[in-house]
Structure 1
Amino acid sequence: MDRITLPHGELAPMTTRRTRWREAGQSGNYGRRFADLISAGEDVDGEARLADTLLPRGARVLDAGAGMGRVAAALLRRGHDVVAIEPDEALVRQARQTYPGLPIEERDILDLGPGDGPFDLVVCVGNVLVYLADGTERGALGALRDVLGENGRILVGFHLRDAPPHARAYPAAEFEADLAAVGLRVDLRAGSYELHPANDAYGVWVLSRA
């Protein structure tokens, strides 16, 4: 059971949207879909290509909410020092089977602390933020901010419309208000990982400390 820390430090059960997604069998569907795409030789590196352009060679990268590890593995192949975290046990297992040697931990974003950094880039793509437990968005964004290096950045992407099952609606204006509240600024907003113009269907942001 996922847990959340209450104001006095005690832990209480927390149902994340990701938990409901997993319990509905969507975790397995997601894993199979990307396994099939990879086996078929399809291009699944769009997010990683954009992330790579934001980095010098050999940079330190955190993939937060890594799923079955495809983005982390692509950045590892490009020569970066990558750490991946993913709270879903089945997806962590699949990542280890698909990408032997990939450094991935079964861990939640809310468990991160300043001692886990510093990272040159945090990658948080593929609808991770819209599966957080209600009311934890600012806590998660603050945790990602806290592991950034001096000039570190965050790459975020999620559906603004037609979100996948059990995901929340997270309008761009609300997301950007949450960013400002935790001391992050928008350096770039686009509508795809190929940097098409911003739109109302999908949001991609590059963020840094305000």
Structure 2
Amino acid sequence: MSELPATRWALGGEAHLGYGRRFADLVARGEDVDGEARLADALLPRGARVLDAGAGMGRVTAALRERGHEVTGVDPDLALVDQAERTYPGVGLLPLDILALSPEALAARGRPAEFDLVLSVGNVFILLAEGTERRALGTLRGLLAPGGRLLIGFHLTGGPAGSRAYPPEEFVLDVEAAGLRVDLRAGGYDLRPPDAQYAVWLLSDASSRA
């Protein structure tokens, strides 16, 4: 496999060092960090197969496992994978980039090859490597089970250091080019109306029945 391009997250270096510690502190204090997981859980039957692509320090993976789902979390940042294991012992994130995912790569690690829901939340898509958004969307589409859906969320303004601006109209073009369709857009994981600050998207395979 050819070397994968560096993500904006990786290029940000020390600018992102506080992310894992901040969320670990929130978890330790008992703060509510489960907004994404609550929405994902509402979209799923019990015991569903979920891929958390760009799992960070594992909070959504852990929350959905507590709700009874079979969750595979992946993140290429080894420091975050280590942080996840300290915060959620046994969470077992796979150190993989989204662009390295495939049914074969996951099956080789004893994980499902297709999923009822693929998550990529917490600004993952505005921190991908430059110019790889359509490739990432296509990769994740290829991991959807029949009837499966994709849940993505990112800041439209005020994103983390090193992130890109990703206008909704450009995202929709990339979604359609990757063979997906937009089923829902909201302004947050509580499904409030769309706004100019944050976007939550629910996508599905455009080749399946609406």
TM-score of the alignment, normalized to the shorter chain, above 0.5: yes
How far apart, CA to CA, are the structure 1 residues paired with 2:125 and 2:152?
8
Percent of pairs with identical residues? 59
Following superposition, the deviation at residue 104 of structure 1 comes to 1.0
Judging changes above 3 Å, is the alpha-carbon distance between structure 1 residues 78 and 13 closer, same or farther for their aligned structure 2 residues?
closer
Following superposition, the deviation at residue 13 of structure 1 comes to 6.3
- Does the Cα contact within 8 Å between 2:186 and 2:193 map onto a contact in 1? yes
Report the 3-state secondary structure (helix = DSSP H, G, I; strand = E; otherwise coil) of the residue aligned with 1:15: coil
Q: 2:165 aligns with which of 163, 169, 178?
A: 169
Q: 1:79 aligns with which of 64, 68, 84?
A: 68
Query: Which whole-Å deviations, capped at 9, do the CAs of 1:13-63 have from their partners, x for residues lacking one?
Result: 623201122x1241x200111011111111000000000000000000000
Judging changes above 3 Å, is the alpha-carbon distance between structure 1 residues 103 and 43 closer, same or farther for their aligned structure 2 residues?
same
Q: What does residue 105 of structure 1 align with?
A: 94
Q: 2:41 aligns with which of 22, 35, 52?
A: 52
Judging changes above 3 Å, is the alpha-carbon distance between structure 1 residues 70 and 12 closer, same or farther for their aligned structure 2 residues?
closer
Report the 3-state secondary structure (helix = DSSP H, G, I; strand = E; otherwise coil) of the residue aligned with 2:74: strand
How far apart, CA to CA, are the structure 2 residues paired with 1:83 and 1:13?
21
Segments ≥4 residues shifted beyond 4 Å? none
Query: Superposition pairs for residues 91-102 of structure 1, below 5 Å?
Result: 91-102=80-91
- Does the Cα contact within 8 Å between 1:82 and 1:103 map onto a contact in 2? no
Q: 2:23 aligns with which of 34, 41, 56?
A: 34
Q: 2:9 aligns with which of 18, 28, 31?
A: 18
Q: What does residue 200 of structure 1 align with?
A: 196
Report the 3-state secondary structure (helix = DSSP H, G, I; strand = E; otherwise coil) of the residue aligned with 1:208: strand
1:64 equivalenced with 2:56 (yes/no): no
Report the 3-state secondary structure (helix = DSSP H, G, I; strand = E; otherwise coil) of the residue aligned with 2:91: coil
In the alignment, structure 1 segments of 5+ residues that lack a partner are 6-10
Richer in strand (by share)? 1
Following superposition, the deviation at residue 12 of structure 1 comes to 4.8
Q: What does residue 109 of structure 2 align with?
A: none
Following superposition, the deviation at residue 109 of structure 1 comes to 0.3
Report the 3-state secondary structure (helix = DSSP H, G, I; strand = E; otherwise coil) of the residue aligned with 1:105: coil
How far apart, CA to CA, are the structure 2 residues paired with 1:114 and 1:64?
14
Following superposition, the deviation at residue 184 of structure 1 comes to 0.4
Q: 2:123 aligns with which of 114, 124, 127?
A: 127
Q: Please tell me the residue identity of whatever aligns with 1:150.
A: P
1:144 equivalenced with 2:140 (yes/no): yes
- Does the Cα contact within 8 Å between 1:193 and 1:204 map onto a contact in 2? yes
How far apart, CA to CA, are the structure 1 residues paired with 2:204 and 2:5?
29
Query: Which whole-Å deviations, capped at 9, do the CAs of 1:79-125 have from their partners, x for residues lacking one?
Result: 00000000000000011111112131000000111444210000100
Judging changes above 3 Å, is the alpha-carbon distance between structure 1 residues 13 and 205 closer, same or farther for their aligned structure 2 residues?
closer
Q: Please tell me the residue identity of whatever aligns with 1:14.
A: P
Report the 3-state secondary structure (helix = DSSP H, G, I; strand = E; otherwise coil) of the residue aligned with 1:104: coil
- Does the Cα contact within 8 Å between 1:63 and 1:122 map onto a contact in 2? yes
Query: Which whole-Å deviations, capped at 9, do the CAs of 1:170-196 have from their partners, x for residues lacking one?
Result: 111000100000110011110000000
In the alignment, structure 2 segments of 5+ residues that lack a partner are 107-112
